[in-house]
Structure 1
Amino acid sequence: MDHVVSLVCASCGTVAQDGSRFCEQCGSPLAAPVAVAPPPAAATVATCRACGGPIADDGYCQDCGTPAASERDHWAEAPSATLGGVCDRGIRHTKNEDAMALGLARDATVLVVCDGVSSVPDSDLASLAAARAARDVLVGGVTADGGTARVSAWSALLVRAADAADKAIAAAVGDMGERHDPPSCTFVAAVVDGPHVVAGWLGDSRVYWLPDAGVPTQLSSDDSGANDLMTLGVPRAKAESSPQAHAITRWLGADASDVVPRTTATRAQGAGWVLVCSDGLWNYCSEATAMAALVRTAQSAAGGAPEAVAAELVRWANAQGGADNITAALTRIGVVPAAVTADTVHS
């Protein structure tokens, strides 16, 4: 806290002007300057996110007992006009173990989402450290020329980013020793470089390409029990509602046997959205065509800013029940159309 240093008359208490040697009120000689502290700033009272009541010193609502909201519960990022995202705790979980990190790599955009394994303590630390470390590697960018060489360079960089993310988890959570349940998280990242979309992943967080006109596509392929069932021919709806659906088969963390992500690249045809999200969103809207319609509806409600569209997607997921943490990050390829048809997906 800064202090104001003033000359104060010892005889009558008058505050003198700077440079004065004698009090203008009573004529007494002035002593050495006295430090006068400014009045304290008015305290702000935190309010409960559930009922609006006051938050007590112990961090809980005095009226209903709900824990106070923290920055980790909900935040947004918008590094540019074409890139933005929102990460939210959801309704039913007491902690947000999702994380995202967005960035710009020269003329490319970078989106990273990590979903901490909720059954393991400290996975919120793991996911945040992993997402930011991967983002930093990808934002370093590549120096290769365009075309195939550039796409290949991004694919290699995604592998490096996942490795950096895995190392960042170890640094964030410290020595696990003999711990049988070390923190872990999924990993998904997308780099959008002109019309090229390059994605890498471990686990069941996803990347979608959602064109304004054309066939929407899920670019990633889940490392999960549900995907294993679908490979065997089980219909998507049945597989994703099975007890094994969210058992991930690959992840980042001390107990991961393989942290090399699978990668894919596609050349986008026309304008559209690249969506990177956690299962807190796609649990309610899994298939790519349905996700494209949802994003178009969100755009109709919120406008064309990626952060606003992401916020609308999070709001929608919470309205469906908010059973998990929710992260939605989007970047735009091409201009946003002036008019959007919410209930139509072009094919």
Structure 2
Amino acid sequence: MEPHVSTDTATACPTCGAAVTPGARFCEGCGAPLAGTDPSAPVPRHEPDEAGPISRPTNRQRVTAPEPAVRPCAACGGEVGPDLYCTTCGTKAPSPRDHYRESPAPWVAGVCDRGVRHTRNEDAMALFADPTPDGGRAVLVVCDGVSSSADSDTASLAAARAALEVLVPPLPRGLGTADSEDAAAAAVLSRAAAAANAAVIANSDPSSDNPASCTWVAAVLEGGTVRYAGLGDSRAYLLPDDGPGVQLTVDDSLAQELVDAGTPRTDAERSPTAHTIVRWLGLDAPDVRPRVGSARVEGPGWLLVCSDGLWNYASEPQALRAQVDAAGVTDPEGLALALVEWACAQGGRDNVTVALARVGSQWADSEVREDHG
């Protein structure tokens, strides 16, 4: 994720030459530590549990990292220490945070991956689903930490979990009218964004010149309707099996401002500042009220929530639909993994997160049982 808007003059990364903002600890282009940081210093991080889905902490609780499990070094067989370096040969072991998966139900799943070029995974996700899709609810939350900010990997995970806590209960129905129901749902989504923002702040160093920050997008599937909200440029899409797909969310980015001014989307998203965001979560966020909206599910298809690590390579809904078709996978976790692997094969220049829910009446219980035994 690119830095948010700053009046500071950008400098160049000494490793890859990409533009970086003053005070950034890591290069957005290659993930290398920048001048003034100690490459050998351990990076504060939260390690997902190595078995089972990530547990959700109470809102505003600071996320702390459990001790990594003792395991042998893949290079020499020695013991991997708590800092993930082998105590015998010094080889760094992969962190569980680099790649993790969640599948709360057979019809909902997600994959969060470090990508190819970054040295740590600053993306995060948190998912919920009822056991079956027939009348069931699903919640998909994705956050993308801003690489120029401190502790963005920890903060993004805390934000995703905090928002999920707010969105797991059924949405209120308001006073019974469509407008009242929309307003009630929008209020809950706004509370989820506020909870996510509080979690980011709780996991930030207030004395830092670059306090933790991240994007945030959430989608709630309930009763054939998708309610969604976002800040930054992580996105939600609805991709029907038949008919055109749609990008549900609208980016808060300089690229979107170019599009709004009449620049073709392809050109806007190729501009040097395309991924610079103008709204985000964090201590220095100017406004944490999300854009909200809703859409009806008219037939079978996919609800997809992702970070820009995926849509960097397939921004338009039809391009994403083509990759879904090319994967030839109907299992949500298998499809999420296929899309992540495809993004990495295109260069993987950013962290990649893909969360999916199978939507529509044709996703029968028999299909769930067949795909998952």
Q: TM-score range by the shorter chain?
A: 0.7 to 0.9
- Structure 1 residue 131: deviation in Å? 0.3
Residue in structure 1 matching 2:295, options 241, 259, 266: 266
Deviation string, structure 1 residues 281-301 (Cα, Å, up to 9, x no partner):
000111111111111222x1x
Answer with 152-161 or 126-135: which moved more. Answer: 152-161
Q: CA deviation at 1:44?
A: 4.4
Q: Which amino acid aligns with 1:247?
A: T
| Residue of structure 2 equivalent to 1:224 | 253
The partner residue of 2:196 within 165, 169, 177 is: 165
Mapping 1:177-192, distance limit 5 Å: 177=207, 179-192=208-221
Q: Which residue of 1 aligns with 2:235?
A: 206
Q: Tell me: CA distance 1:63–1:83, structure 2 relative to 1, closer, same or farther (3 Å).
A: same
Unaligned runs of at least 5 residues, structure 2: 1-69, 367-373
RMSD (Å) for aligned C-alpha atoms = 2.5
1:317 to 320, 336, 343: 343
* 1:134 maps to which of 155, 158, 163: 163
Go from structure 1 to structure 2 and tell me whether the alpha carbon gap of 1:163 and 1:321 turns closer, same or farther (over 3 Å shift): same
Query: Post-superposition shift, 1:121?
Result: 1.7
Structure-2 change in CA distance of 1:108 and 1:45 (3 Å): same
Alpha-carbon distance change, 291 to 65 in structure 1, aligned in 2, over 3 angstroms? farther
Is the Cα contact below 8 Å between 2:71 and 2:79 reproduced in 1? no
Amino acid at match of 1:271: P
SS in 2 for 1:191: strand
- Indicate conservation of the 8 Å contact 2:72/2:80, yes or no: no
Structure 1 alignment gaps of length 5 or more:
1-42, 339-347
Map of 1:32 onto structure 2:
none
Return the offset for 1:108.
Answer: 1.3
Judged with a 3 Å threshold, the aligned counterparts in structure 2 of structure 1 residues 286 and 53 are, in CA distance, closer, same or farther, namely: farther
Residue of structure 2 aligned with 1:154, choices 185, 188, 195 = 185
Offset at residue 194 of structure 1 (A): 2.6
- Residue identity in the other structure for 1:102: L
- Report the secondary structure of 1:214's partner residue: coil
TM (norm. structure 2) is 0.72
Q: Which residue of structure 1 lines up, in the alignment, with residue 137 of structure 2?
A: 108
Residue number among 61, 74, 94 corresponding to 1:47 in the alignment? 74
Which residue does 1:89 correspond to in 2? 114
1:287 aligned partner: 316
The amino acid across from 2:203 in the alignment is A
In structure 2, how many angstroms separate the alpha carbons of the residues matched to 1:118 and 1:278? 13
Please give the alpha-carbon distance, in whole angstroms, between the structure 2 residues aligned to 1:142 and 1:336.
23
Distance 1:290 1:53 in 2: 44
Q: State the Cα distance separating 1:77 from its structure 2 match.
A: 0.4
Q: Give TM-score, length-normalised by structure 1.
A: 0.77
Q: CA deviation at 1:327?
A: 0.1
Amino acid at match of 2:143: C
- The residue number in structure 1 matching 2:97 is 72
Determine the C-alpha separation between the residues in 1 that align with 2:302 and 2:181. Answer: 21
Shift in alpha-carbon separation, 1:200–1:80, aligned structure 2, 3 A? same
Distance 1:281 1:54, change over 3 A: farther
Aligned length in residues = 289
Q: Which amino acid aligns with 1:45?
A: P
Secondary structure at 1:186 match in 2? strand
The reply to whether residue 329 of structure 1 matches residue 359 of structure 2 is no
Residue 243 in 1 paired to residue 259 in 2? Answer: no
CA contact (8 A) 1:47 1:55 kept: no
Is 1:308 the counterpart of 2:334 in the alignment? yes
- One-letter amino acid of the counterpart of residue 242, structure 2: A
Alpha-carbon offset, residue 141 of structure 1:
2.5
Contact 1:55 / 1:68 at 8 angstroms: preserved in 2?
no
Report deviation, 1:47.
Answer: 1.8
Alpha-carbon distance between aligned partners in 2 of 1:151 and 1:295, rounded to the nearest angstrom: 31
Instruction: Kindly indicate whether the alpha-carbon contact (under 8 Å) linking 1:134 and 1:161 is maintained by their aligned counterparts in 2.
Output: yes
Confirm or deny: 8 A CA contact 1:151 1:196 kept in the other structure.
Answer: no
Shift of 1:330: 0.4
Query: Equivalent residue of 2:188, what SS?
Result: helix
For residues 165 and 358 of structure 2, the distance between their equivalents in structure 1, rounded to whole angstroms, comes to 21
**Would you say the 8 A contact 2:151–2:203 is kept in 1?**
no
The verdict on how the C-alpha distance between 1:142 and 1:59 changes in structure 2, with shifts beyond 3 A counting, is: closer
Which structure is larger by alpha-carbon Rg, 1 or 2? Answer: 1
- Residue-by-residue CA offset, 1:53-86 (whole Å, 9 max, x unaligned): 8775463479997632111111000011111100
CA contact (8 A) 1:53 1:62 kept: no
With over 3 angstroms needed to count, the CA separation of the structure-2 counterparts of 1:65 and 1:231, relative to structure 1, is farther
